[in-house]
Amino acid sequence: MTDDLQYCYCCRVHHPRDQMRLYPTRAGHRWRCVRSIEAARLDRQSRDAFGRQQTRINHETSQRQAAWNLLQRLGKTL
């Protein structure tokens, strides 16, 4: 029974051995479950996607601001 379980350093509980993978950490290889590895991977992906989107929004905002500044300047000179 206990032979089929492996302690997961990520969840701090025991999972069935077939869900466990040796995961490289700074402290060496640790047992970690597939689910937590996958969750961390998806989390990183969505954070990256969010960062990219945020960069694009910032870019568009600054472009709109630049266009607005230009219109203001033209309005004053006309």
Which residues sit at the interface with Zn ion, rule CB under 5 A?
8, 10-11, 33, 36
Minimal distance, residue 3 CB to Zn ion, in Å: 18
Minimal distance, residue 1 CB to Zn ion, in Å: 18
Q: Which is nearer to Zn ion, 16 or 51 (CB)?
A: 16
Q: For residues 64 and 77, what is the distance between their CA atoms, to the nearest angstrom? A: 20
Q: Which is nearer to Zn ion, 21 or 36 (CB)?
A: 36
Q: Which is nearer to Zn ion, 5 or 10 (CB)?
A: 10
Pairing of strands 28-33, 20-25: antiparallel
Contact indicator for 8, 32 with CB cutoff of 8 Å: yes
